Amino acid sequence: KQEVTQIPAALSVPEGENLVLNCSFTDSAIYNLQWFRQDPGKGLTSLLLIQSSQREQTSGRLNASLDKSSGRSTLYIAASQPGDSATYLCAALTGTSGSRLTFGEGTQLTVNP
Amino acid sequence: GAVVSQHPSRVICKSGTSVKIECRSLDFQATTMFWYRQFPKKSLMLMATSNEGSKATYEQGVEKDKFLINHASLTLSTLTVTSAHPEDSSFYICSTNPGGYDKNIQYFGAGTRLSVL
């Protein structure tokens, strides 16, 4: 059974700081790993998706890496802004037909002005 | 634009009533849809997999009679919380994928926040 863990559970940083969010998974047989953002009381916004054959993906100030062999992924946020404050979730896609998404519990990020 | 539409976005109901949540795929046919539940400050937990034209597959610990799932068409799955109680208050969210080449990409609805008084 896939288990996904995110560290830290909460993070508070001053504006402008670069930061790294960590995600680990127990079953390396994943189809992809996805990072989401969730604002309070809202749904999920997909940030980055890394296919199992890829090592990283970049979008603007965000960079996500994937190391399947060690069961780890990181989300790097450069030059953080107050608008980045949200909960960040990672999810690993596994299953016989690539249909089971297992989520971590998220990292609650607060960027202080 | 959104490819998955979920309604309603928020429901407040009295204890004992039933609540239906709809999840529609807008741009593609979805033979499979997934229903998740999220408790406050917790992650999303898969409740069940909805299969068009057949019975849903429920995760361990999820009451089938409490959470009724119907997937009668290729674009619509519904989750009905029957005889809702305050402990059913939660955030419910659906997802699906286009299948084929994009079968590993999940699209999510905006979620439904259920509050049972």
What's the rounded Cα separation, in Å, for the pair B91 and B89?
A: 7
Contact B43 A41 (CB under 8 A): no
Q: Is the pLDDT of residue A98 over 70?
A: no
Contact B113 A41 (CB under 8 A): yes
Interface mutation target, options A25, A32, A38, chain B, most CBs of B under 10 Å: A38
* Least Cα separation, residue A91 to chain B (angstroms): 10
For residue B100, pLDDT beyond 70: no
The answer on pLDDT for A95 being more than 80 is no
pLDDT above 70: percentage of residues in chain B: 93
Mean pLDDT of chain B: 90
pLDDT averaged over chain A?
93
Which residue, B13, B116, A42, A25, is CA-closest to A34? A25
Distance, CA of A54 to CA of A63 (rounded, Å):
13
Average confidence (pLDDT) over B80-93 = 95
Q: Which residues of chain B does A89 touch, with a Cβ-Cβ cutoff of 8 Å?
A: 43-44
DSSP code string of A66-111: EETTTTEEEEEE-S--GGG-EEEEEEEEESTTS-EEEE---EEEEE
